[in-house]
Amino acid sequence: SIKEKEDNQQEFYSAVAMAHQEWVDAQNFFENVVDADLVDHAIYKIEATKTKYMYLLKLARRKGISINM
């Protein structure tokens, strides 16, 4: 139904927004990390969250969904 499609799109938009926020948070964590032992973890976290966000954007393009962030 149209309602289900709208709900699914809203869920997708929310997932993309959350993934973007996770990426921003990871970048902030990296910029503020003071313990040298956490630098590798911070870099890994940036790459992981960026990959997730980029994947969701690619999926949106394939589905014809426009995402404006």
Predicted confidence at residue 26, as pLDDT, reads 97
pLDDT in tens, 20-30: 999 999 999 99
Rounded Cα gap, residues 16 and 65, in angstroms: 11
* Burial classification of residue 27, based on how many CB atoms lie within 10 Å of its CB (0-12 exposed, 13-18 middle, 19 or more buried): middle
pLDDT in tens, 21-58: 999 999 999 999 999 989 999 999 999 999 999 999 99
